[in-house]
Structure 1
Amino acid sequence: MIVAEVVRSGFVESVHHGVVAVVGGESFGDVASPFFPRSSNKPLQTVALLESGLVPREEADLALISGSHDGEPFHVERVGAMLVAAGLGPESLRCPADLPLGETPRRAWLRGGGEAEPILMNCSGKHAGMLATCVINGWPLDSYLAVDHPLQKALADAVSRLSGEPIAALGVDGCGAPIFAISPIGLARAFQRLVEAEPGTPERRVADAMRAHPALVAGTGAEDTVLMDAVPGLLVKKGADGVAAAAMAGAGAVALKISDGSARARVPVLIAALRGLGLEVPDLPEPVLGGGRPVGEVRAVFQIAG
């Protein structure tokens, strides 16, 4: 199904296909076939960490554990503090060395002569949370990314329970951790369960921390941050390869996948889906540039019937 089109100088030059799963409205495309939600899985995994005994230094840490941070100094410092609190150091991280994900912090890091490091990788918060949970339980640290590790079994069980369906396949995410395939509608259901859970439960603690500290989920000016700041009560988490999930208690939830993995189609489609649920969501333009100036746009082409 076509979910977005790219318009340049008034001419439709290309289209993006995808699926939009909606709880509380009409879904579009094949929303029952499994896919890899990529980093949109992270909040579900953080629920499993809490259920496995993780005791965060403060609730804000849950937002970073659930996020894909831009590598700004406040992100990196918090990851380091989480590791120190667990009696560990950056050398314990098994995510690959990387540069900051955000363009501004990446340029600043390189100007200062910095090189790629595991703690800068956008998933380092999740890995720090995983390691801290292993320390609490006395689980092996060197093998915490193995699919048969007690930690990863707990994560898979939580993703399956929250989505309401069995894990369809196992893969390896970009950070080296196992990734669990579920359906888009299963992902939407899981996000809805997070925002509608009782206060104080692991599900609600994760949702509340992310909504209270959106800059820790992504970064300054990032799409997840801007949307959660602009719409009180909205939970949002993007994933690589054109994935996003969002939910609002009492309104519904959405999960989407752009088939070609395009990130530029993700935001217009997500905003259109959220507006279809009756939410007032600000415009976050995805301009099409020509000569460095806007000459078109990426726009959603579907309409949800609530």
Structure 2
Amino acid sequence: MSSSATAEILVEVTRGEMTESIHRGHMAVVDFRRHTIAFTGNPDYYTYARSTAKPIQAIPLIEAGGLERYALTPAELALCCASHNGESAHAETALALLRKAGFDESALSCGVHEPFYKPAAEAIKQSGLTVTPLHNNCSGKHAGMLALSALMQAPTQQYTASAHPVQIKMLQTVADMCGVPTESIGLGTDGCGVPVFALPLAALAYGYARLGNPEELPRPRADACRQIIGAIRTAPYYVAGTGRYDTRLIEVTGGRIVGKMGAEGVYALTVPQEGIGLALKIEDGSERALYPAATEALLQLGLLKSSEAEQLEPFHRPAVTNRRGETVGAILPVFRLQRE
């Protein structure tokens, strides 16, 4: 396990002339041949990947023939990789995917929560409808897991258990893509009930680099990676939704950069054309520090055009406001990447 003593201050939160709070963390930038390009803090910091693993977890569904068997649309495949807002289009797409695989929402074991997107949650309340598992931000991933269970002719009950064939396949795929032995990956339980994987940040960055540039992978795996990246580029709204960083990053860069957030301050992205991946962990788990740090890293790496940086400025240096809507401070990235 890595020591927090090696963490760097990544983001400061100011109020007036003072720094009121700080967020420490770690980052690794790795290419598809596993060369470390840049880092800050401890690039081998060991942490749960959380939902950054979702695009990698979608690979077995494609390798098993799910794209053809279910005639998956880009939106449906992107939703398998999503931590979505729970907007109506997200819930409808999750249900469409389930029905293609012979299920309905009752098969989902992800639990229920209100949509992340407040207007969507309010619309449900005003209509008198009930929030369902389809609105869970992980419903797409779970629908994909059920679809894979059907393809594998595995039991669909207890599909979230670590001993289930689908979850074993997920673990093996994450290990293979990130270049680590399965036995070195720590297992916990994610917010939606499925196993979650702990591994070094540099390994996660390597997995993302290969996801974006799979030229050295076997052809079936490489094809699956290209299908996943292609779907996310085509349908970025389905990876997150209205006002979300993951969606905006893909939209603003025209799909040149594909990123995915994870709970507790984790972020991973790939720049396919450059063959690199980046993984980031905010030690205290704060989401407010996540997007400023990720955007700053992209700027320091020279991966954002000035027009793109301008469009992402609300995420890069968000204002701190009071309850009257007045700007009273800012959330500011303050680190410098070290180059290898």
**Shorter-chain TM-score above 0.5:** yes
Shift in Å, 1:305: 4.8
Contact 1:131 1:141 in 2 (8 A): yes
The answer to whether 1:287 aligns with 2:316 is no
Which letter maps to 2:120? P
Structure 1 residues 256-275: aligned runs within 5 Å: 256-275=280-299
- How many residue pairs get aligned? The number is 306
- Secondary structure (helix, strand or coil) at the match of 1:201 reads helix
- What RMSD over aligned residues (CA atoms) do the two structures have, in Å? 1.6
Select 2:214's aligned residue among 197, 209, 232: 197
Alpha-carbon deviation of 1:176? 0.4
TM-superposed deviation, 1:109: 1.6
Secondary structure of the corresponding residue to residue 147 of structure 2: helix
- 8 A Cα contact 2:74 2:234, kept in partner: no
What amino acid does structure 2 have at the position aligned with 1:220?
Answer: T
Q: Could you report, residue by residue, the CA deviation over 1:258-302 in whole angstroms, capped at 9, with x for unpaired residues?
A: 111101000100001111221113312422112332211111111
Corresponding residue number in structure 2 for 1:17: 24
State yes or no: 1:48 paired with 2:60.
yes
Q: TM-score, normalised by structure 1?
A: 0.95
Matches within 5 A, 1:1-306: 1-23=8-30, 25-55=37-67, 56=70, 57-167=72-182, 168-198=185-215, 201-232=223-254, 233-251=256-274, 252-280=276-304, 281=309, 282-283=312-313, 284=315, 285-291=317-323, 292-305=325-338
Name the SS of the counterpart of 2:181 in structure 1.
coil
1:72, distance to aligned residue in structure 2 (A): 0.8
Q: TM-score, normalised by structure 2?
A: 0.86
Per mean C-alpha deviation after superposition, the further-off stretch among 289-298 and 128-137 is 289-298
- Partner Cα separation in structure 1 for residue 86 and residue 14 of structure 2: 33
Shift of 1:114: 3.2
Query: For residue 302 of structure 1, what is the amino acid of its counterpart?
Result: F
Deviates more, 1:215-224 or 1:191-200: 191-200
Say which is worse superposed, 275-284 or 201-210, in terms of deviation.
275-284
Q: 1:103: how far off?
A: 1.9
SS at match of 1:255: strand
**Deviation per residue, 1:156-184 (Å, 9 max, x gap):** 00100111112421111000011111111
Is the CA contact (8 Å cut-off) linking 1:53 and 1:137 kept in structure 2? no
Q: Do the aligned partners of 1:42 and 1:66 also contact (CA within 8 Å) in 2?
A: yes
Kept in 2: contact 1:39–1:239 (CA 8 A) = yes
For 2:291, the aligned partner's letter is V
Question: 1: distance between equivalents of 2:273 and 2:113?
Answer: 39
3-state SS of 2:39 partner: coil
The alpha-carbon deviation at position 204 of structure 1 amounts to 1.4
Aligned mates of 1:208, 1:305 — CA distance in 2: 31
Report the residue type matching 2:43 in the other structure: V
Q: What fraction of aligned residue pairs are identical, expressed as a percent?
A: 37
Post-superposition CA distance 1:58-115 (Å, at most 9, x none): 2331110001110111111111111111111110101101111222211222222233
CA distance in 2, matches of 1:186, 1:294: 39
Q: Which amino acid aligns with 1:9?
A: G
Structure 2 unaligned regions, length at least 5: 1-7, 32-36
